[in-house]
A and B are shown apart, each in its own frame.
Chain A
Amino acid sequence: MLKKAALLAALVLSMTTLFGCGPSSIEEVEGTVFECTQFSALCPEGWSNYPVTELNDDTTLSMNYLRFYKAEPEEGDNASTLLYSNAYINIGHYSPESEVFISKDIYKDVEDVELEVAGKKWKGYTGVLAGIKKAEMWADGTGEWQVSICLSDVDGDIEIDDMELQAILASLKKK
């Protein structure tokens, strides 16, 4: 009986280690703040910032884009090796008049999502394309803040209400 209990305890412990016991609130998420010309955002611990360059000049960092990967930086890693293997978020900041493009038709299992984080109301959808789960969202009904998220991750997909993801959204600060 004692052996069984010990085994069960070990199983529970290993399950906790395997699946992690992530932060239960946004406030618990720690990390580093990265910024581009137009805004800053929190990159949680365990995530990495991947510099995005301007579209017409690959030597200048983008003024309105940040991209974070859910992976610790390793030698030899680049956006190409991590593509669709790790969860990531692309954050773009535009003028409030900017258009929001919706491209639901190419995804399967499309679900509309709504999220309220730190006073911003995020709307959008999640969908699966060739096994990859992605989300497109925009804030407060305008095109000012737009994000594209890859929810598929080698260590298990993340959910749209993932605390680290929400902490990133909550941290967006216009300069």
Chain B
Amino acid sequence: MISNQILQNVIEGIKAISRVDICIMDTEAKPVAATVGKTEEYEASVLAFVGSPAESQSLQNTHYFKVFDDRQLEYILVVKGDSDDVYMVGKMAAFQIQSLIVAYKERYDKDNFIKNLLLDNLLLVDIYNRAKKLHIDVESRRVVFIVETSIEKDNMALETVRTMFTGSKSKDFITAVDEKNIIIVKELRSNDTYEDLEKIGKVVLDMLNTEAMSKARVSYGTIITELKDVSRSYKEAKMALDVGRIFYTERNIIAYSNLGIGRLIYQLPMPLCKMFIREIFDGQMPSDFDEETIVTINKFFENNLNVSETSRQLYIHRNTLVYRLDKIQKMTNLDLRTFEDAITFKMALMVVKYMDYMEKTDF
């Protein structure tokens, strides 16, 4: 639970202050952290001390202390020197490590609880009882953010996000249920709105770009008011990330509540999509259209079917645009100048994007 690196930092810090060498060994006398190079000389004494009922002992110019985790012997602290001052340093170091074990255990317990909560692994009775034990409020407003970084197991990004959200008074949780995504369960104030969530997303992206030099995308679910619904907000954020990857590649903050028609298409079965595309394009796929036609269509949609504005933005004469739209009509039987045909075409393009994505991801 508590990493050896943290223990090493602690004893190095104590040595820097007190100039006393310390070694931490496990109950099998294997060194966990040490400020001295050779630790073999303590092995026999440590093993004998583990078996003794004493909590501390002084032997051959060295003090030995036991460190417990909930009455279970966890480490033996070996402190070089036999003076009273060294004994005091050893006692304080043992106390410090014991406190760290408790603190890390609580953090670890919370992390595991939140992971299980995200995956809806818990029954109500466990959610309420466990939350009470871990001092987690069950009725706060919360939302789940997912941060997808470009690198798998991006520790730098994880640490950056942790630094942002885990202050001394923070009630937010940072965790991961897989290697690709960082999950933030954020507690919200009573007046926080979806606009505030968008701002939080932007801050996360900015921080990751500057601090962790990492490209990322952020998605978030809907606001929930009960702890047991954390899994729903997580599921929504996950879906937002997937739908965004297919349809809104230009966006790097994606809200579940803002997925629009993409969310509907994402849930369509593949055979239905294929049938629809066959009917609309009659065997020809939009990817077969030349570049000029695709640019024209996209621009025309961007400008809400406005012929004048589209031709202006494409630097072409209005009649040229009309000619191109006529050409598309001949190819597809859809007149993009009419609302109904335009929406059919737009949906067909999105369905094609979805089918391409599904094929690439081998679903």
Is A44 located at the chain interface by the 8 A CB criterion? no
In angstroms, how far is the closest chain A Cβ from the Cβ of B180? Answer: 10
Contact partner, A92, options B109, B123, B130, B231, Cβ 8 Å = B123
Identify the interface centre among A100, A102, A106: most chain B CB within 10 Å of its CB.
A106
Check: B228 CB closer than 8 A to any chain A CB: yes
- The answer to whether A83 touches B124 (Cβ under 8 A) is no
Contact B116 A78 (CB under 8 A): no
Interface assignment of B113: CB less than 8 Å from any CB of chain A = yes
**CB contact list, A85-130 vs B, under 8 A:** 88, 90, 92, 94, 98-103, 106, 129-130
Tell which of A55, A80, A99, A148 touches B109, judged by Cβ atoms closer than 8 Å. Answer: A55
Q: Tell me how far the C-beta of B242 lies from the nearest C-beta in chain A, rounded to whole angstroms.
A: 10
Task: Assess whether A58 is in contact with B119, with CB atoms less than 8 Å apart.
Answer: no
Q: By the criterion CB–CB under 8 Å, are A103 and B119 in contact? A: no
Q: Mark B218-252, 1 if CB is under 8 A from A, else 0.
A: 00001001101101101110100000000000000
Whether, in the assembled complex, B120 has its beta carbon less than 8 Å from a beta carbon of chain A, the answer is yes
> Which residue among B126, B130, B228, B229 has the maximum number of chain A CB atoms within 10 Å of its CB?
B126
B contact residues around A79 at 8 Å (CB): 119-121, 177
Q: How many residues of B contact A (CB 8 A)?
A: 33
Chain B CB within 8 A of A35 CB: no
Separation in Å of the A153 CB from the closest CB of chain B? Answer: 13
Given A55-B109, A103-B228, A150-B120, decide whether A80 and B222 contact each other with a Cβ distance below 8 A. no
Are B178's CB and A103's CB within 8 A? no
Bound together, the chains give a CA A55 to CA B226 distance in angstroms of: 19
Give Cα A102 to B128, complex, Å: 11
Contact assessment for A146 and B123 in the assembled complex, using a CB-CB cutoff below 8 Å:
yes
Interface presence of A70 (CB below 8 A): no
A27 sits at the interface (CB 8 A) = no
Q: Are A90 and B112 in contact (CB under 8 A)?
A: no
Q: A55-B112, A90-B123 are in contact. List 9 more A-B contacts (CB 8 A).
A: A55-B130, A78-B178, A88-B120, A92-B125, A100-B124, A106-B228, A129-B229, A129-B232, A136-B124
A residues touching B (Cβ–Cβ < 8 Å)?
A: 52-53, 55-58, 65, 67, 78-80, 83-84, 88, 90, 92, 94, 98-103, 106, 129-130, 132, 136, 143, 146-148, 150
